[in-house]
Amino acid sequence: MKTGQQPPALQVVMKEARRAIRPLIWFSAGINVLMLTGALYMLQVYHRVLSSHSLETLVMLSLMAAGALAAMAGLEVVRGRLLAKVGSWMNARLAPVLLTASVEYAASAPGQVNVRPLRDLDQVRNFFTSPSIFPILDAPWSPLFFAAIFLMHPWLGWLALGGGIVLFGLALLNEYLTRKPLTDAATAQTQAYGQAEAAIRNAEVVQAMGMLKPLMEAWKTQQDKANKGQVLAANRGGVISALARCHRLALQMAILGLGAYLVLRNEASPGIMISASILMSRALSPVEQAIGTWKATVGARAAYRRLAAVAGQHPEGTPVLPLPRPKGRFEVDSLVLARLGGEHILKGISFQLKPGEVMALIGPSAAGKTSLARVLAGAWRPSGGRALLDGMDVAQWAAEDRGRYVGYLPQDIELFAGTVSENICRFAQLDASTFKHVVRAAELAGVHELIKRLPKGYATEIGESGAALSGGQRQRIGLARALYGDPALLILDEPNSNLDREGEDALIAALSAIKAAGTTIILIAHRPNIMEKVDKILVLNRGQQDLFGPRDHVFNELAKRNGAVTQITAIAANQGVGAGPARRFTVRNSSPMSEIVAGSISGGDADAAQPPEWKKI
């Protein structure tokens, strides 16, 4: 439970970052004022030293100029360090928010993964610490230099101002001509990165099935598009930059020529002629630098806009008030899940479970079982309706608090680089007390002996995504992770899909133990022997709730619908399992929904019991 609504994180960070603006303004003002040193020194040398032939005056002017230049260098060092500090501080404040926002975005938009915000933050931070930001800081002080030139002579001032306007127009033209190519190139480069990451992530499949060449063709198409945009922008920017450089040099020659003309007319001194040239060069420097660094500026601006789209609506982390441990009462009310395009994945799912009840989630392929499991676990946010655990909406419950009471085993086992212990305890701080719970979860999942046989036991590094483990080992360790902390709600998505007979027996034993402890369990399963622990069944079909009720009632209803079910009453005795409820199996031409009828078994090996012409689950 969160303590209250907070303003967006980016808004808070930028508001606090404004505290650094005032020192930056003063440092930039001091640096630009001290940059007048060269022009003033030249002016004083011509006016005072050369006319008076005073060595003492020259020495004092030189010492004063050296002191001013040293002060300017010190201010530039401090300004650079302040910018680096702001960039580092912004990264430290926003990086956790962006990672959280990216995870929540993926949870709220099924099938959509946004991994770029952290890269964008790095780009913005690097912009703060690069020379690309200096034209932005120095440009507001250009009027100071133009004003100084006007004081020397109006003609010189108008010439410098006119040349500055032309140079500024070239900068605007550069932005106009390079904006679209750079934007298109960035979009194509992002798609190329995504394709490359997907190929590397699925390297085994790519290599085994010879998919590298066609994937490279698709990647090369995007890469060529990105390169084309980059080259086009670079060519246009290069032309504008060459014109700007040529214009500045011509303007420098023009102001020297005009100054010489004024000297010949006795309207200016040689010192004014040289000083005006120096001041004009400094006044136009930010504009010329901006043209040269425009690509970095455009990239940082686009990155900031993307950050605003992610962090601009996401609040910073707020203190979480822990709620009492739930008893396990679970209620789903009119749950709806839709894709971004509006297509419904789940429609109107409703059911209730008491503490300690076990519900099986069944249905044909693409019925929405896994999607529903993700919503119920809080991994995805529903588009409508609610899933309540002891009256608390799991979508609104703070994940760090809710996670203590909910165990989740996804269909695709997602382990992380680290040790077995760290994965089981969900990367909590590992101490003696935590390790005790780790071992307990492993024993409950029946994986303790397996872990002891690993090279370093619980300290074994499993590699990225558990690459050092087999599929069955990953699934059993994933089950132990789900059982860690004795959750009140346990959601298992095909927990026996990669298990052998030994692993499946351990799973059934674990389900019996945690059910006896009062844990509410929701599982997706397709093998019949796990159904003996089920109390209720929810049948999904095309995202809609088809049936819900006690196990035997649902199986009987499915059998009635199928109309082609044969009852076998002697199989339990023949297999040595003992008496139990009637076992039902469907014929090969039955509908997909009726296939699950085979799950109404109270024990034994259903696969071995079925005749070969009968279709099992």
Q: Give the C-alpha separation, 536 to 362, whole Å.
A: 11
pLDDT score for 509: 87
- 464, with CB counted inside 10 A (0-12, 13-18, 19+), is exposed
Beta strands across the sheet bearing 614-615:
565-568, 583-587, 614-615
Question: 253-257: long-range contacts (C-beta < 8 A, 24 or more apart)?
Answer: 254/159, 254/163, 255/156, 255/159, 255/160, 255/163, 255/280
Q: Which domains does the chain have, with CATH numbers?
A: 9-311 (1.20.1560.10), 330-544 (3.40.50.300)
pLDDT score for 615: 31
| pLDDT tens-digit series, residues 120-140 | 888 888 888 787 888 888 888
pLDDT score for 537: 92
Q: Among 108-122, 138-152, 557-571, name the one with the lowest average pLDDT.
A: 557-571
Q: Give the C-alpha separation, 295 to 231, whole Å.
A: 12
Six token digits for residue 562: 């199928």
| pLDDT tens-digit series, residues 420-469 | 999 999 888 888 888 999 999 999 888 898 899 888 999 998 877 667 78
Residue 548 φ/ψ, nearest 5 degrees? -150, 135
What pTM, to 2 d.p., does this model score? 0.66
**Higher-confidence position of 210 and 480:** 480
Six token digits for residue 482: 């789900």
Q: Supply the mean pLDDT for the chain.
A: 80
Q: Give the C-alpha separation, 351 to 537, whole Å.
A: 10
Quick one: average pLDDT of 356-383?
89
Amino acid letter for position 326: P
Q: Which helix (H) or strand (E) holds 316?
A: none
Q: Give the C-alpha separation, 115 to 160, whole Å.
A: 48
**Looking at the DSSP assignment, which residues form a beta bridge with residue 2?**
320
User: What is the band of 320 on the pLDDT scale with cuts at 50, 70, 90?
Assistant: low
